[in-house]
Structure 1
Amino acid sequence: MGGEVFLNKNDIYVNICSFSLAPVISFVFFFNGTTIALALFCFFKECHFKVPTILTTPSLPFSKFSVLRRNINLPFCLPTCPLEAGMALLFAGGCVFFPLCFTVLRWGLQNHASLQMEKQEAVLVASKLVSSVQAIMASTAGYIVSTSCKHIIDDQHWLSSAYTQFAVPYFIYDIYAMFLCHWHKHQVKGHGGDDGVARAPGSTWAIARGYLHKEFLMVLHHAAMVLVCFPLSVVWRQGKGDFFLGCMLMAEVSTPFVCLGKILIQYKQQHTLLHKVNGALMLLSFLCCRVLLFPYLYWAYGRHAGLPLLAVPLAIPAHVNLGAALLLAPQLYWFFLICRGACRLFWPRSRPPPACQAQD
């Protein structure tokens, strides 16, 4: 859970008052808070479309669909354009939205009068803010979908497919954003020496290899989201299980806390109360929304099918259990890292508790 700081600036970052870190933190909280309103605005502002004729067919009675409409108490929103065109528009919108947010935020952080961040700092903070934007939008969409679908198998909600198609470009963008952060850290640190000399221009491949070595699991996770999970959610589901997809989207609740923690570590604020409170919230949200999410989904299906929790894995197809295990495995690894960092944060090595001693 350690972090790296930019060289020759420790005298600025150690004291929160000497550098304008307080406006940065305030901006992070303000931006994350107002993003909920942004998400709702993007999805529901002046959404007046016609209900497709497919909704009146016996396969999905309109009476059932009207229940979903009343649950959210908002004008129903579905595109009247063909499915392929709608998917293309949503995908194109995501391709524009996330890089544009990153570019605007980076420019603002570099040029705002009270911030005046250097480029490498602005890249880090802007990338974490965009990740927080996506996380809040995803968790908001997931909450709406999961609470609107009363029948966990057959009920459908337009947000489940619409946001999935919109958010796929984020994972492609984030791979590049993480590489950009790694690149700037590398340029500042140089070869790891204290002189701060940057690497030779011809070492781009070495930087890329170092990035893939350091962030291999995250890059693999993002690639799987694009190449495996997206096709499965759009094609293989055939409109079934929007409730489960909504719950999976709510796993992003922990991401803003992770992003804020990385920003605080970057500015060497591990000793502050804010970092400790954020760490506790990150630990709790990650446990509830990412680790315990999978037992909850099994329990929800068991309640629907009239099965006890332990009988659910035997009652569903083997490939479903395999997919759940593959999704849960990296979450358990990251949760272990968070717990190890929490032990080091709340119980320093000078007086570690027995549990931390056993881990170390």
Structure 2
Amino acid sequence: MTAALVCGAVVFPGLFFSFRKILKHTWTEWSDADVVSVSERLVSAVHASLATAAGVMVVSSCRDVMTDSHWLVNSFVLFGAPYMVFDIYAMYLSHYHTERTRGGSRAPSGHSLHTVRAFLRRGWMLVLHHVALLLVFMPITLCFRRGLGDFFIGCLFTTELSTPFVSIGKILIQLRLDDSKLHRINGLIVLLTFFTCRILLFPFMYWMYGRQFGIPLHRVAFHLPLQCNVGNLVLLAPQVYWFILLLKKAQRLYLRQRRQQGDKDRMKAD
């Protein structure tokens, strides 16, 4: 178990600094903000891909949703813990360099408590998400489950399926390809994977539990302890919020492209 923790503490910072060095030499015209932002997104995509693969392996291996166990569950939780800590630092670093690149009177002259507070105000939800995974999800998974429910932990790992595509979208914007067909296709994949693996996943887990114990889906919640239902609602709520934000962003992009196409058509007509 300690080996998994140490491995994560080496792999994710190592990937970040490697990506940062490679990008700085490859895209010489990029600012530090561009390099740090893309590096952070690439590491996020790597972690999410590994989490999804681990989740699929666990889910496909567990026949009994309550009692079957898989060694990957605890190992990957420990392996991913250093990523959560490091990603908060990487997000802060991205915020810091972005504000410096923008300039202006509010641009930070150096690292300070003020820049940390500004970062926390702007990205408080993502930081809270990472901290909750470390201080709540990890102890529950490692210490309080009594070896039960590996199937459901595997399901939660698969929620990361949409993250690589979110990262790809951000990188395409960085490459000024936000008006490309590739970006539009990637956006549709983001919406589909996010809705499937972060929202539909919860009724799927209830359905699997009900199927094993012969309980109709609409009655499953009444057969579970209150803390299980509350915990699922706490996990589901931010996913619904983020999905609404994604839908609004997709709508803005669609309307902007329609306006641009309309302007082009008018210019041709003139």
Q: Normalized against structure 2, the TM-score is what?
A: 0.91
Which consecutive unaligned segments of at least 5 residues does structure 1 have? 1-86, 352-360
| Inter-partner Cα distance in structure 2 for 1:230 and 1:272 | 40
Counterpart residue number, 2:266: none
Residue 109 of structure 1: how far off its partner (Å): 1.0
Residue 350 of structure 1: how far off its partner (Å): 6.5
Counterpart residue number, 1:290: 198
Which consecutive unaligned segments of at least 5 residues does structure 2 have? 260-270
Deviation per residue, 1:112-148 (Å, 9 max, x gap):
3xx3344322111111110000011010011011001
Residue 213 of structure 1: how far off its partner (Å): 1.0
Deviation per residue, 1:126-176 (Å, 9 max, x gap):
111100000110100110110011111111111111111111111111100
**Is the 1:191–1:199 Cα contact (8 Å) retained in structure 2?**
no
Residue 349 of structure 1: how far off its partner (Å): 8.6
Residue among 16, 25, 30 paired with 1:102: 16
Structure number with the bigger relative contact order (C-alpha 8 A, sep ≥ 6) is 2
Residue 229 of structure 1: how far off its partner (Å): 0.2
Counterpart residue number, 1:266: 174
Residue among 102, 108, 124 paired with 1:199: 108
What amino acid does structure 2 have at the position aligned with 1:143? V
| Inter-partner Cα distance in structure 1 for 2:257 and 2:11 | 44
Counterpart residue number, 1:158: 71
What amino acid does structure 1 have at the position aligned with 2:239? Q
Calculate the aligned-residue CA RMSD, in Å: 1.6
- Give the direction of change, closer, same or farther, for the CA distance of 1:350–1:97 in structure 2 (3 Å limit): closer
What amino acid does structure 2 have at the position aligned with 1:199? P
Percent identical residues: 41
Counterpart residue number, 1:309: 217
Q: Normalized against structure 1, the TM-score is what?
A: 0.69
Residue among 35, 50, 54 paired with 1:141: 54
Residue among 234, 247, 250 paired with 1:339: 247
Q: Secondary structure at the match of 2:177?
A: coil
Counterpart residue number, 1:248: 156
| Inter-partner Cα distance in structure 1 for 2:237 and 2:163 | 18
Residue 264 of structure 1: how far off its partner (Å): 2.2
| Inter-partner Cα distance in structure 2 for 1:286 and 1:224 | 20
1:91 equivalenced with 2:5 (yes/no): yes
Flag as ranges the 4+ runs of structure 1 deviating above 4 A.
none
When you count helix as a share of all residues, which structure comes out higher? 2
Residue 205 of structure 1: how far off its partner (Å): 2.3
Larger Rg: 1
Aligned pair count reads: 258
What amino acid does structure 2 have at the position aligned with 1:102? F
